[in-house]
Amino acid sequence: MAGALVGRECKLYYNSGTFGTPTWTEITRAIDVAYTISSERGDVSSRISIWKMEKKALNGLELTFGYRYRQGVTDAVFDALRPMVLSNTVVEFAVADGAIATTGNEYLRASYQIDANVNQPLTDGVSAEFTAFLTSEEDSGTLREPSWVTV
């Protein structure tokens, strides 16, 4: 695939396997996926200049997505996500620009914990809104940091 993308063509996955042997499960009912990479900045100003100067100190990463779940039918993805919220499970997500195993596609891979908010608007479909925040997770004593992967 080359050229411009619309969000519908992108993919969101969670890892139901291990870090070393991931099993990427697509979240097909995801809506409005977004991730934000932000930074906290430290003040490095001094009397050498009249300008306030800052330097990046720590980066932050937050992933948000809506999910249209269905009542009364088996929904394996929602049934997997819901207990992750309640039990403070660490879960890996991959935000991809296409199918995760397709050569040339890229994705952001990171470990998160998640919060949820269920919305029941009067005139719109019911959805769960998930907020995933970056968390500390180690693999064999090595910290897993977010990574940008090109297939």
- 104-129 pLDDT, tens digit each: 889 999 999 999 999 999 998 889 99
What's the pLDDT tens digit per position in 44-53?
999 999 999 9
Q: DSSP character for 128? A: E
> Residue 73 — very low, low, confident or very high, per pLDDT cuts 50/70/90?
confident
pTM of the complete model: 0.87
CATH number at residue 68: 2.40.30
Instruction: Give the residue among 41, 40, 62, 61 at the shortest CA–CA distance from 52.
Output: 41
The 3-state secondary structure of 4-65, one letter per residue: CCCHHHCEEEEECCCCCCCCEEECCCEEEEEEEEEEEEEECCCCCCCCCCEEEEEEEEEEEE
**Ranked by mean pLDDT, which of 8-12, 62-66, 102-106 comes out on top?**
62-66
The tally of domains found in the chain comes to 1
> Residue 2 — very low, low, confident or very high, per pLDDT cuts 50/70/90?
low
The answer to whether residue 3 sits within a structural domain is no
